[in-house]
Amino acid sequence: MKGFIAVYVRELLILRRRITRLIPSWSVSPLLYLLAFGYAVGRHMDVGGHTYMEFLIPGLAAMSSMTQAFAISSEINVSRFYWHIFEEFQAAPISNISYVLGEVFAGMTRALLSIAVILLIGYIFGVTLSYNFWFWLALLLNSFVFAALAVGLAMLVKSHADQSLLNSFIITPMAFLGGTFFPIERLPEWAQYALYFLPLTHATKAIRKAAYGDLPLMVSYLVLCGIGVVFFFIAVFCVNKAKD
Amino acid sequence: MINIEKLSKNYKKNEALKDISLTVKKGELFAYLGPNGAGKTTTIRILTGLTHKTGGTAYLNGFDISKETLKAKRQYGVVPQSTNLDHELSVYENLYIHGLLYHMQGAKIKERIDMLLSYVALKDRKKSPVKELSGGMKRRVLIARALLHEPVILFLDEPTVGLDATIRRRIWGLIKKIQQDGTTVFLTTHYIEEAEFLADRVAFIDKGTIVAVGTPHHLMEKQGAWAIDLIENGQVETQYFNTREDADQYNVNRHKSYTLRRVNLEDVFLTLTGKKVTE
């Protein structure tokens, strides 16, 4: 299991090199969403007794925990197809679990840093919420789910081009349908049931409730935990499949 | 040190390796010679855990690569054909991560990095980003990285491909030094002169089959000592002779364009397979 430290340290060193470029890039989308939806569209909107900005910030945090954790798949593919660094890990005496664990931790770290940027922007916009234990736990679990999914899928894709398909078919629909920008209760009942199959829906609901100072439903945490563990072991299996 | 028995690899209908068997002795420098696509890299990839084998067994320093995978992986270092260094990171960082991958302690990693960077004459480039290094320097970093965890076997997959003649000679010197320090070296190449200069023993591989194994001297001895390449109608025909006198005698009264030279491993490969290693 020690090998995961090497994989994680490598990702941290790269992250450190890029951090000055990453922070502005993590800030652009939330800023645009807050300006466009928070100010322009939702300025006088009330969502369940909260301003739209208060509604939006936890949603953006949930979405960012998903997108940035999932972004580790692009990093893996660049190092796999372009730099062939994945071969160095395959030749080393480390288990598949260690490799997946290192990459998942790296994805979660990226996610947490990007969330910190969003919360800072929210603070600048005057939004103050409760960032308690349940809030951070839901974010951690959500980033775990999507980092594990990212590692598994990164092992299955055959080229860089496949990677953009994953974003188009998995991440973008989930970002818009997982309750980031609107309460899913406004959708037809059948659609709400369908959306409960998405992990982001559970994460958004839990994060938002915690941010409002309420106790989230424990079932959301259990669902995230369960899906995360399943994705993690699928990823471990997929690492072996990545060999010729 | 390396024992391979009936190793095979199929890619759908393509048989990349056909039941090859090999033994490499401790401390030996073994060259695996063949044209592109012959199965050299596939063999190394299987031995180093990058590719699944279809059949057969392989042992590295006594450890089965399938059943004792992690122990087998500790026995070797690999210098791959294409550079697989982190270009964004420094030379030191690349080597440090490798040390962590092999569960080495921090102080030991630092000590080995300093020692190996001196060994490959790159101590002054320790903090340089890999992207700023030349091709030859990157190859030396790869060699230093492969030796960091003190492996008993070093796999070198086409270590001098794409390098100019001067750098190639420098790498050869380094490989010889590594062998003299006690490491068993398994080298794939399609450069005849590389195998002749470096190898204690050579195996020829063609279309996934080993066609000959022996010392370069022994393999060439069977072919003869001298060769004459006769050029006629744009075609080259080669004749082999045991002595220089026989070769000279052959040329008496011939007014064709010809070249007299020593026999090399290319001649042996050509005779065995009907084609050149470099084809």
| Distance of alpha carbon A48 from the chain centroid | 25
Q: A3 or A119: which carries more pLDDT confidence?
A: A119
Q: Are A13 and B96 in contact (CB under 8 A)?
A: no
B6, B21 Cβ separation under 8 angstroms: yes
Contacts of A94 in chain B (CB under 8 A): 70, 101
Quick one: pLDDT at residue A189? 86
Q: What is the rounded average pLDDT for all residues in chain B?
A: 86
Q: Can you give the pLDDT at residue A146?
A: 94
Domain B2-215 part of CATH 3.40.50.300: yes
Q: Which of B142, B66, B150, B171 is nearest to A88 (CA)?
A: B142
**Which chain A positions have a beta carbon within 8 Å of B101's beta carbon?**
3, 6-7, 88-89, 92-94
Closest by Cβ to A13, choosing from B48, B87, B93: B93
Which token pair is B170?
Answer: 């420098």
pLDDT at A16: 93
If you average pLDDT over residues B153-167, what whole number do you get? 84
Least confidently predicted of A34-38, B81-85, B210-214, B230-234: B230-234
Please judge whether B74 and A93 are an interchain contact, meaning their C-beta atoms are less than 8 angstroms apart: yes
Substitution target from A80, A85, A240 for chain B, most B beta carbons within 10 A: A85
Residue A115 has pLDDT above 90, yes or no: yes
Lowest-pLDDT choice from A101-115, A167-181, B115-129, B176-190: A167-181
**B240: pLDDT confidence band, cut at 50, 70 and 90?**
confident
- Burial class of residue A161, CB neighbours in 10 A (0-12, 13-18, 19+): exposed
Each residue of A122-177: pLDDT tens digit? 898 888 888 899 999 999 999 999 999 999 999 988 877 788 888 888 888 888 88
Top residue of A1, A9, A10, A15 to mutate, by most chain B CBs within 10 Å, is A10
Q: How confident is the model at residue B120 (pLDDT cuts 50, 70, 90)?
A: confident
With 80 as the cut, is the pLDDT of residue B137 above it? yes
Q: Tell me the mean pLDDT in the region B187-195.
A: 85
Which of the residue ranges A193-207, B128-142, B228-242 would you say has the lowest mean pLDDT? B228-242
- Say yes or no to pLDDT of B174 above 70: yes
Q: Residue A233's pLDDT is what?
A: 95
User: Is B86 close to A83, i.e. CB distance below 8 A?
Assistant: yes
Share of chain B above pLDDT 90, in %: 36
**Residue B258 in this model has a pLDDT that exceeds 80:** no
Average pLDDT rounded to a whole number, residues B27-42: 88
What pLDDT is attached to residue B89? 93
Q: Per-residue pLDDT for B255 more than 70?
A: no
Q: Are strands B201-206 and B184-189 parallel, antiparallel or unpaired?
A: unpaired
Q: Which residues of B touch A92 (CB under 8 A)?
A: 73, 98, 101-102
Q: Is the pLDDT of residue B275 over 80?
A: no
Looking at this protein, which amino acid is placed at residue B149? H
Beta bridge partners of B203: B32, B213
**What is the pLDDT, as a whole number, of residue A116?**
93
Confidence grade of residue B230 (pLDDT, cut at 50, 70, 90): confident
**Sheet containing strand B14-24, strands side by side:** B14-24, B2-11, B55-60, B63-64
Q: What is the ipTM of this complex?
A: 0.85
Averaged pLDDT for residues B121-141: 89
In chain A, whose CA is at the least distance from the CA of B52? A244
pLDDT at position A102: 95
Q: Where in chain B are the domains?
A: 2-215, 219-273
Contact B89 A17 (CB under 8 A): yes
Closest CA to B74 of B84, B63, B90: B63
Domain boundaries, chain A: 21-241
Integer CA distances (angstroms), B91 to A41, A59, A88, B87, B175, in order: 51, 41, 15, 9, 20
Chain B nearest C-alpha distance from A81 (Å)? 10
B278 pLDDT more than 70: no
Q: Does residue B74 belong to the interface with chain A, where contact is any CB pair within 8 Å? A: yes
Q: Which of B82, B84, B102 sits opposite A93 (nearest CB)?
A: B102
CA geometry: angle A195, A198, A203, nearest 5 deg: 105
- Name which residue leads in pLDDT, A188 or B6: B6
φ and ψ of A55, to 5 deg: -75, -40
CA B58, CA B62: separation in Å to the nearest integer?
9
pLDDT of B279 over the 70 cut: no
**Which residue from B85, B87, B100 is facing A6, i.e. has the nearest CB?**
B100
In the predicted structure, residue B11 carries a pLDDT above the cut 80 = yes
**In B, residues 36-65, which contact A (CB 8 Å cutoff)?**
45, 48-52
Q: Which of B45, B73, B82 sits opposite A92 (nearest CB)?
A: B73
- Pairwise CB contact (< 8 Å): A85 & B102: no
In one-letter notation, the amino acid at residue A166 is L
Is B63 in contact with B24 (CB distance < 8 Å)? no
- Closest by Cα among A47, A81, A9 to A185: A47
**How much of chain A, in percent, has pLDDT values that exceed 90?**
47
Beta bridge partners of A212: none
Shortest Cα–Cα distance, B48 to chain A (Å)? 6
- What's the whole-number average pLDDT of chain A? 88
- Model pLDDT for residues A38-85, shown as the tens digit of each residue: 777 767 777 778 888 888 899 999 999 999 999 999 889 888 888 888
Q: For testing the chain A interface, which of B98, B100, B132 should be mutated: the one with the most A CBs within 10 Å? A: B100
> What span, in angstroms and rounded, lies between the C-alpha atoms of A145 and A159?
23
Question: pLDDT of B72-104, one tens digit each?
Answer: 999 999 998 888 899 989 999 999 999 999 999
Please determine, for residue A196, whether its predicted confidence score (pLDDT) is greater than 90: no
Closest approach of A17 to chain B, Cα-based (Å): 8
Q: Which two tokens stand for residue A34?
A: 């807050």
Contacts of A136 (CB under 8 A, 6+ apart): none
Residues of chain B by 3-state class (helix, strand, coil), percent to 5:
40, 30, 35
Tell me the residue type at A143. S
User: Which helix (H) or strand (E) is A160 found in, with range?
Assistant: helix A160-166
Partner-chain contact A84 B101, CB within 8 Å: no
Q: Which residues on A lie below 8 Å from B89 (Cβ)? A: 10, 13-14, 17
Q: Which two tokens stand for residue A235?
A: 């990823």
Q: Which residue has the tokens 């692009």?
A: A74
- Residue A86, H or E segment: helix A85-91
